[in-house]
């Protein structure tokens, strides 16, 4: 018998405080910066945040106080996530695209949504005790449309209970939401998207392709197939 795991969805989870990368004192400074952002713009914007949840506009990644956290996130992505995918990081890495702040008070939640337009996205929790509402990831594979018993091996959703210092990295197309905050505490987090950063033009399309050569796009030979796999 052969059993294969097809098309897995990967969720990377880190505790940046436990790993000694960031400190509680630094995260408290980030929380204070988020309070200052909300004081300056108390309305914020409405995207996925529902009820009383506050969300800032993009721009956290441009504020000086956030640069240390951003470096930590980029280090995890480029030195752990990309190598896990067998990406050659001498040719391509991921850089911070946009980042925004979220403060969920009592009753606040986030509707189901995706972060389309990039490869990896994430959430970093600046202040959370773990009972202010789980983040819920939902499988939209066609298998969930069929009537079958949900079990531990074939689930249609996954819940994470983040606490202060938790970093979650996940494919941008993964559907997710945040459950309502049932407590009297505010949870502070930021969400972000990563952009591809090409370090070489080796994999870029070359318009000067000879008529007798096979077309190559980003290093893949589109016409040379061995065993059902495209060959570099």
146: confidence class by pLDDT, cuts 50, 70, 90: low
147: confidence class by pLDDT, cuts 50, 70, 90: low
C-alpha triplet 43, 45, 49: angle, nearest 5°:
105
Parallel, antiparallel, or unpaired: how do β-strands 175-178 and 187-198 relate?
A: unpaired
**pLDDT, averaged across the chain:** 86
Domains and CATH numbers, the chain: 12-199 (2.60.120.620), 201-232 (no CATH)
Q: What is the pLDDT of residues 86-119, one digit of tens each?
A: 999 999 999 999 999 999 999 999 999 999 889 9
pTM for the whole thing? 0.84
Q: What is the pLDDT of residues 28-80, one digit of tens each?
A: 999 999 999 999 999 999 999 999 999 999 999 999 999 999 999 999 999 99
């Amino acid at each position: 018998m052969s059993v294969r795991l097809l098309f897995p969805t990967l969720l990377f989870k880190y505790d940046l405080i436990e790993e000694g990368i960031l400190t509680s004192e630094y995260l408290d400074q980030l929380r204070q910066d988020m309070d200052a952002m909300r004081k300056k713009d108390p309305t914020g914007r409405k995207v996925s945040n529902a009820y009383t949840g506050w969300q800032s506009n993009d721009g956290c990644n441009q504020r000086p106080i956030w640069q240390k956290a951003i470096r930590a996130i980029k280090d995890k992505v480029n030195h752990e996530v990309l190598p896990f995918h067998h990406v050659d990081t001498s040719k391509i890495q991921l850089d911070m695209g946009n980042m925004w702040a979220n403060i969920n008070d009592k009753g606040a939640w986030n509707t189901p949504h995706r972060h389309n337009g990039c490869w990896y996205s994430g959430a970093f929790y600046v202040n959370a005790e773990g009972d202010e509402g789980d983040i819920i990831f939902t499988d939209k594979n066609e298998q969930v449309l069929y009537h079958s018993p949900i079990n531990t091996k074939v689930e249609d959703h996954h819940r994470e209970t983040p606490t202060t210092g938790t970093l979650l990295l996940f494919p941008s197309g993964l559907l997710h939401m945040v459950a309502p905050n049932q407590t009297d505490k505010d949870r502070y987090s930021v969400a972000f998207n990563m952009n591809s950063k090409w370090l070489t033009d080796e994999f870029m399309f070359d318009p000067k392709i000879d008529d007798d050569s096979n077309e190559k796009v980003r290093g893949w030979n589109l016409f040379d197939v061995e065993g059902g796999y495209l060959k570099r």
